[in-house]
Amino acid sequence: MAPGANSSQNEDENKKATEVSAELGRKLRELREAQKLTLDDAWNATKIQKKHLAAIEEGQLDRLPKGPFCRSFLRQYCEYLNAGDLWERYDRLTKKENEALSAYRQDDAEASYTSNPKVFRHRSHIWVYIIVILSLGAAAWITWQYRGEITNEATTPLEGGTAAMVDQKETQPEAASADVSVQSQPQPGPASVDLGWMDGKAPAAAKPAISPDQIPSATAVPAPAVQAAAAPLIKVSAKGVIWIKFSIGKDVLFEGLLKPGETREYGPRIDAPLRVRYGNPVKTAVSWFGAAEALVGADAKPVTRYYWYDGKVTDKD
């Protein structure tokens, strides 16, 4: 094939890649805006600089770092926005460029190896032996100088030595046995108190400690108050990376991202419903008012639900 034909083919491929990059970047921007996320939110979550995120959404991949960094940024951003299908297209688009770069580096390394062969020389390690000998000599000299201060007397760790400490209880067996004999004698004390009524059990009669004549008269224990019925709760479970917002009126209870496996539970007030904004319904499961857990929707389009105190669910306030 003529050189001119190769150049024309390369220009067509580069133009097509640029158009695909612009289309994918536009879809990522629309997906981010649909979830009401800003570039600051994406930067805080992915740690990718905002200039690189803007370059991805504008389709200018040549502004990203070359090689594996470009592919890593694209994959992280697609995973953050739950756009796995877009990453598959990015993967095909950037794989050829990455393979060409790897082949170029391999050819360059082979050329460098053949043009500048290295000569391996045996290095002498005599300096290591010199340092070891000098260290041993210094240790022997220090030991010789302070030989008069070294004693054979064993000292305890409290005195700066390493000898084992003798248990003081072993040196005074008679005193210890005397203490035990005194403590083993039964001592009179107050009657035991039964606190089972705190768990809802019936109070038991007090056990006498000395004699039945000294038992004080039992006092009536009030029965525990019956708790009011708990307010209904909605349990939201993340089956993937989702964005969600809980609010009652103007009060925002929670707003942010949930990772797979994380859950949140909130309930409405008697006078106001609980408003829940789902950013990715197909990855969000809900259990409400005793019902089994089920997905909110079949796609990723954001929806809003209102949950009322009586168990009713509506799309509007």
d(CA 275, CA 277): 7
CATH number of the domain enclosing 65:
1.10.260.40
**What pLDDT does 109 receive?**
52
**pLDDT value at residue 238:** 93
47 in a domain, yes or no? yes
User: How many CA atoms does the CB half-sphere of 87 hold within 13 Å?
Assistant: 15
Q: Which of 113, 140, 169 is the last residue of a domain?
A: 113
Residues 6+ apart with CB under 8 A from 90: 24, 71, 74, 75, 78
- Mapped onto helix, strand or coil, the DSSP state of residue 192 is strand
Average pLDDT over the chain reads: 75
Task: Provide the domain limits for residue 99.
Answer: 3-113
Q: What is the pLDDT of residue 189?
A: 46
- C-alpha angle with apex 207: 202 to 211, nearest 5 degrees? 150
Q: Is the full-model pTM beyond 0.75?
A: no
How sure is the predictor about 68, in pLDDT bands with cuts at 50, 70 and 90? confident
Confidence check: pLDDT of 17 > 60: yes
What is the count of structural domains for the chain?
A: 2
Last residue of a domain, one of 49, 81, 113: 113
Amino acid at 121: R
Residue 69 lies in a domain: yes
Distance CA 193, CA 207 (A): 8
In a domain, 52, yes or no: yes
Of the two residues 206 and 137, the one the predictor is more confident about is 137
Higher-confidence residue of 228 and 138: namely 138
pLDDT in tens, 146-163: 776 555 555 555 555 555
- Residue 205 included in any domain: no
Q: Which of 280, 179, 296 is nearest to 234 (CA)?
A: 296
Q: pLDDT (tens digit, 9 = 90+) per residue, 174-186? A: 444 444 343 444 4
The mean per-residue pLDDT over the stretch 203-207 comes to 54
pLDDT, one tens digit per residue, over 30-42 is: 999 999 999 999 9
